[in-house]
Amino acid sequence: MAMDEAVVQLTDPRALRAVAHPTRLNLLSVLRRDGPLTATQAGDRIGESPAGCSFHLRQLAKWGLVEEAGGGRGRARPWRATAIGHEWASRGPSGEPDEARDLLTRVVVERWFDESLKWVERRREESEEWSEAAVLGDRMVYMTTGELEELNRRIGRMLEPYARRVTDRAARPPGARAVTFIQLGFPIDADEPLPGPD
């Protein structure tokens, strides 16, 4: 499977905890977008030392998320991501809640919202076209679990042609930029009051 189609499934609680580190998530992001990169190049992009990046890259490699791209020696070895994404189940193999899964989910959701707030802060500096094209909104709907799963699959299929551009720079049309597309769909507590005017 090509990297532009591959998604690493994280199942080992140790892997989930390893990936739940902000520096490692930053490294995965920059390698997917700009890789292959050496530890020094990656460190320059994310504001970390080459030694620190080298350590974190080796930790990610243990779980199959990055690999050496070939060539170079020591910290001058380039690394690449093995997939465009990673996924993990919300519960353990026996269906029980799992602390490691919850930790990674919490770290990733916090990262998404941090990125969203950064967009809100800088969108005045963006062109009108990008400001208007950005997707910000929410809708309440009533769905079954099967319908929600099918909606997720359909959105995934719609995004596939764009995901291939992450690794194929030649496929990016003029004016294309990296875009974070966040999917959230979860049941709400029906007993909670809806937000409204005070």
Q: Does position 49 have pLDDT exceeding 90, yes or no? A: yes
CA distance 144 to 58: 42
Any idea where the domains of the chain sit in the sequence?
7-128
For position 173, what pLDDT does the model report? 94
Least confident of 31-35, 78-82, 85-89, 145-149: 85-89
Q: What is the pLDDT of residues 112-170, one digit of tens each?
A: 888 889 888 988 898 889 888 888 888 888 999 999 999 989 998 898 888 888 878 89
Which of 154, 149, 174, 173 is CA-nearest to residue 162?
173
* HSE toward the beta carbon, residue 34, CA cutoff 13 A: 13
Q: Residue 97's beta-bridge partner residues?
A: 91
CA distance 91 to 70: 36
Residue 33 burial by CB count (10 A; 0-12/13-18/19+): exposed, middle or buried? middle
Q: Does position 4 have pLDDT exceeding 60, yes or no? A: no
Beta-strand pair 79-81/66-68:
antiparallel
What confidence tier does 1 reach under pLDDT thresholds 50, 70, 90? very low
What confidence tier does 39 reach under pLDDT thresholds 50, 70, 90? very high
Compute the C-alpha angle 179/89/57, nearest 5°: 60
Angle (deg, nearest 10), helices 50-62 and 22-34:
90
For position 187, what pLDDT does the model report? 84
Q: What is the pLDDT of residues 17-27, one digit of tens each?
A: 888 899 999 99
For position 86, what pLDDT does the model report? 77
Helices (H), the chain: 13-19, 22-34, 39-46, 50-62, 99-122, 128-133, 145-163
What confidence tier does 75 reach under pLDDT thresholds 50, 70, 90? low
CATH code given to domain 7-128: 1.10.10.10
Percent of the chain past pLDDT 90, that is, above it, reads 32
